[in-house]
Structure 1
Amino acid sequence: MRVGIVILPEHRWWAAEPRWRGAETYGFDHVWTYDHLGWRTLVDGPWFDAVPTLTAAAMVTSTIRLGTFVVSPHFRHPVPFARQLLALDDISDGRFMLGLGSGASGAGGYDRTVMGGPEVTPRQVSDRFAEFVELTDSLLVRPRTDHSGEYYQAVAARNAPGCVQRPRLPFLVAANGPKAMRVAARFGQGWVTTGRPGADSVAAWWRNVAECADRFDEVLAAHGRDRSTVDRYVSVDASPLFALESVGAFREHLGRAAELGFTDVVTHWPRADGPYAGRETVLEEVAADVLPLLGGRASRKTGAEGNAGPGPRVHDSEAGKSEG
């Protein structure tokens, strides 16, 4: 089991930098930040862009993987964004992972309305997301891309020098519904689920996560992909129980995720109040007492035995299937 942590892009860099360094020192396997223009109840507070934040994080870390959790099409166009991704992959020396989501709910409303965009239907959201991912894939793999779609255009877009990771950096596709799951099955080296928002109990939330996992298995089978070729990430703080509320809560989420075959768990850096409110002392206890037992970076740092597990996989973009 690998464990990642999200650091919200809400702090000036002098305050944020120690957290990013800390995520690596603590032994987390991957560290993420949100890609929004503003987020829920924090929309009126400080907020910084994901791309320069991750660029700065890449410069102060050396081994931990970095990523977006997650990019949506609400305010990004694949052509200029692909250039940013190439730079992130290069600056991080191949440690960058691209989390992608449709932006269909939650903060997506603000990301759209702040730019004066028109209302979009659920079908338009899912169709645009599929086109966004397919075009981004092409831009990162092909030397030259021409595209004329319903939502995006690309004319002779180049990708030199290409990604450090070949044939391109890994995609982690967030998907709870069948349409987005089909996108994950086609293009993802990882699948991310948040379960059903607003569950009234931890048990009910995990039941929904189990249902999502079963549906994703069916979608993978329909696309001819082996279950083992896609890493499975669960964002456990979408549940009613914040994973870093206590060491016991963290262990409970790990156990349930392992039972369902997830390869990766993602939690959030504790905040002083509001969303993900908690104590950093719990984070320190988890890093010292739990992470070294899981077989990831922390176990290798401390010399504990264990299988670090596979890293993010690359894929054959022409066939849309994973290698590995």
Structure 2
Amino acid sequence: MRFGITILPEYRWSDAAPKWRAAEQLGFDHAWTYDHLTWGGLQDSPWYGTTPTLTAAALVTSTVKLGTFVTSPNFRHPLALTREILALDDISGGRFLCGIGAGGGIDTTILGGPDLTPRQKVNRLTEFTELLDKLLTSDGVDHRGEYYETRNGRTLPGCVQQPRVPFVMAANGPRSLRLAVKYGAGWVTTGGKGDDLDSWWGSVADLSHRMDDVLEGRPFDRYLSLDSTVYSLSSADAFEDAVTRAAKLGFTDVIAHWPRAEGIYAGTESVLEQVATEVIPRLR
């Protein structure tokens, strides 16, 4: 089992930098931040840009992998995103992970434009992922699709990680699960809807079984965000129980959120430190 931590991009860098350093020092394998213009869970909170945040994080760390949780087509064009990915991969020395999903929430409408149906969102995600993969692995790309166009899209010098940075694909539906397996180095999910913890774990189990059917026995990294219903770092015991359940369902990686002072993901850094020093070494 590998362990990740998500640090929301809500802090001034003077407050955020110690958290990113600590994520590495505490032994987390990967550290993430959200890629939203506005996140519905904290609409009134300060919010900073994803790419500058990860760039700064890369400069204050040296070993932990860094990723977007997750990048979507809501406000990104694959060619413009390619330049940001190339820079992050280079600055981090090949530690960047690109989380990718269909996109939802406030970001879907904040820039205007038509509301897309779920099917259209998956269509757009498919074109987005296919074009991004092509741009990151070749140069001089011409593309004219339903959602995107590039004319001789230049993408030199290419990624540090070859053939390109890993995609960690968010997926719940049948088409997006197949897309994740085709283009992803891993799959990430927050689970399905659940009114309580047991029903949420039931949805996670169902999704994991669906992925089993798609994979047909092939090995594949599976990331589970633990905090969709109950905050996993509310106690060391709660975290250990969540990780144990995730492992039984075939997940190779789990992701928790850095504790906040109040509101969503409210907790204490003392529990985080206890988990990192006592629980995680035992569960590895």
1:241 aligns with 2:237: no
Aligned with residue 200 of structure 2, among 191, 197, 205: 205
CA deviation profile, 1:194-251 (whole Å, cap 9, x unmatched): 1113x12222211211110111121223xxxx521x200001111x221100001000
1:189 aligns with 2:185: yes
Distance in 2 (alpha carbons) for counterparts of 1:111 and 1:212: 25
Q: CA deviation at 1:109?
A: 3.2
CA deviation profile, 1:92-119 (whole Å, cap 9, x unmatched): 000000000101xxxx332132211221
Distance in 2 (alpha carbons) for counterparts of 1:294 and 1:25: 18
Aligned with residue 213 of structure 2, among 206, 210, 218: 218
Does the 8 A contact of 1:2 with 1:294 survive in 2?
Answer: no
Does the 8 A contact of 1:34 with 1:68 survive in 2?
Answer: yes
Aligned with residue 232 of structure 1, among 218, 222, 226: 222
**1:169 corresponding residue in structure 2:** 165
**2:156 corresponding residue in structure 1:** 160
RMSD of equivalent CA atoms: 1.1
1:289 match: secondary structure: helix
Paired AA for residue 46 in structure 1: P
**2:277 corresponding residue in structure 1:** 288
Q: CA deviation at 1:89?
A: 0.2
1:135 aligns with 2:131: yes
Paired AA for residue 100 in structure 2: L
Relative to structure 1, is the Cα distance of residues 99 and 248 closer, same or farther in structure 2, using a 3 angstrom cutoff? same
1:154 match: secondary structure: strand
1:21 aligns with 2:12: no
Does the 8 A contact of 2:9 with 2:48 survive in 1?
Answer: yes
**1:112 corresponding residue in structure 2:** 108
Distance in 2 (alpha carbons) for counterparts of 1:86 and 1:23: 23
Distance in 2 (alpha carbons) for counterparts of 1:253 and 1:41: 22
Paired AA for residue 234 in structure 1: L
**1:10 corresponding residue in structure 2:** 10
1:120 match: secondary structure: coil
Segments of structure 1 that go 5 or more residues without pairing to the other structure are 296-324
Does the 8 A contact of 2:186 with 2:221 survive in 1?
Answer: yes
TM-score in terms of structure 2 length: 0.97
Does the 8 A contact of 2:225 with 2:255 survive in 1?
Answer: yes
Does the 8 A contact of 1:271 with 1:278 survive in 2?
Answer: yes
1:266 match: secondary structure: strand
Paired AA for residue 77 in structure 1: H
Does the 8 A contact of 1:241 with 1:249 survive in 2?
Answer: no
**2:90 corresponding residue in structure 1:** 90
Paired AA for residue 212 in structure 2: D
Q: CA deviation at 1:294?
A: 3.5
Relative to structure 1, is the Cα distance of residues 166 and 132 closer, same or farther in structure 2, using a 3 angstrom cutoff? same
Segments of structure 2 that go 5 or more residues without pairing to the other structure are none
Q: CA deviation at 1:293?
A: 2.3
**1:315 corresponding residue in structure 2:** none
CA deviation profile, 1:250-272 (whole Å, cap 9, x unmatched): 00011001111110000000111
Paired AA for residue 218 in structure 2: R
CA deviation profile, 1:64-123 (whole Å, cap 9, x unmatched): 0000000010000000110100000000000000000101xxxx3321322112211111
Distance in 1 (alpha carbons) for counterparts of 2:271 and 2:152: 51
**1:251 corresponding residue in structure 2:** 240
Between the two proteins, the alignment pairs up a number of residues equal to 284
TM-score in terms of structure 1 length: 0.86
